[in-house]
Amino acid sequence: MMLKKAAAWREIMKLGGMRKRSKEVRSYYRALSVKSLRKEGWFDFMTIPRSIEEIADHFGYVDMEFLRKYLEAYSNDKILIKEEGKYRTNGIVEDFPAIPPDLFGPGLAQLTADAANNIPQRLKGNHITFHDEMNVFNWDDALSMKMYECLRMAAFKFSDALSRRGTFIDVGCGSGVGTAAIWGYYYKKGAFKSGDPVKIYALEHDPNLKRIAEEEFASYVSRLHGIDRTAIDSLSEHHPIFVQGNAEELPFEDEFFDMVYTSQVLHWCDAEKATKEMMRILKPGGLFFGTEAFYPMMDQYTELYILMNEGAYGAIMKEDFMRWVREAGATSVDSATPVGVFKVLK
């Protein structure tokens, strides 16, 4: 087990200084939010101490929980001072430099900058849905330094999933780059030749992303693994089955899968429901594995950005995740690296 943990660590180390990278992301989101809320008039209004109710009334905000989270984040950072339940500025609030983090490709940097303009709207209860925009690039490209590939490799090395066979599902597959990469890993292991092949399924909530995943599957495999298109096409009966559906209500019967994989999906949905659903569709003896940016790796400002989106519940605690899987029948649970590579046996 120590060797598997070390292998997972080696993959994550390829990203170099995750804490520094996480700090850069946090600073970027914080700077964008301060800019947006300054335009809204927050810091002029809060030269006088204001209660959360006064702030909500003045600006017409309805989501008190989301407002509270911003006020708490700003008081933790001394952007606002909290005294006797009221919030005020401590003199002039300076703009922070909004430097796109190294980890973000230009598409994601622009997308997040645009989204920050919607913070006041979100406080008024209007979410954004960015999935359509996410079609223009995929997560593997959106984050630099092959971050998603490193996470995926870490999860596979930690869990030893490639030594298993049977039914496999990638829950929340996005535009399917990860699914194509995974198919290639099994192809290289000869898993589509043997009498006991791996059957891969992939599920995605967003219909457009699901369509892209299906249509681009062969070209992704070819690009990622350098496998000839004719070889890929000749194995069409072993290609993944792409399904549109919700991780919170998976459209599969109990104990259908030998392996359930999910990467960076739980914070976008009701994580407890989704976790328990993933355990439900897993066979006894099966493997549930993947990655999730648990607190505190995912900081407050990143979470607040995620919470802008329709359907997102935000970051989770590793301890909660561990409890949910145990409640759902896990016989063993283990995790590695601060990014949250996990492995659960049922």
Binding site for ligand SAM (CB under 6 A): 131, 139, 148, 172-174, 177-178, 204-206, 209, 246-248, 263-265, 268-269, 311
Say how many C-beta atoms besides its own lie within 10 A of residue 107's C-beta. Answer: 15
As measured in angstroms, the least distance from the Cβ of 186 to ligand SAM is: 16
How far is CA 223 from each of CA 155, 181, 186, 217, 219, rounded to the nearest angstrom? 22, 9, 16, 10, 6
**Shortest Cβ distance from residue 137 to ligand SAM (Å)?**
12
**Shortest Cβ 154–ligand SAM spacing (Å):** 12
At a CB cut-off of 8 Å and minimum separation 6, what does 304 contact? 29, 33, 66, 69, 70, 73
**Nearest-approach distance from CB 96 to ligand SAM, in angstroms:** 25
Nearer Cβ to ligand SAM (56/173) = 173
63 DSSP 8-state letter: -
Pick between residue 118 and residue 208 the one whose CB is nearest to ligand SAM. Answer: 208
- Which is closer to ligand SAM, CB of 74 or CB of 201? 201
Handedness of CA 228, 181, 276, 328 (dihedral sign): positive
Rounded to a whole number of angstroms, the minimum distance from the CB of residue 104 to ligand SAM is 13
Nearer residue to ligand SAM within complex by CB, 71 or 147: 147
| Helix 207-225 vs helix 177-188: crossing angle, to nearest 10 | 40
**In a 3-state reduction of DSSP, which class is residue 46?**
coil
Q: Which is nearer to ligand SAM, 259 or 269 (CB)?
A: 269
What is the distance between the alpha carbons of residues 13 and 298, in angstroms, rounded to a whole number?
A: 17
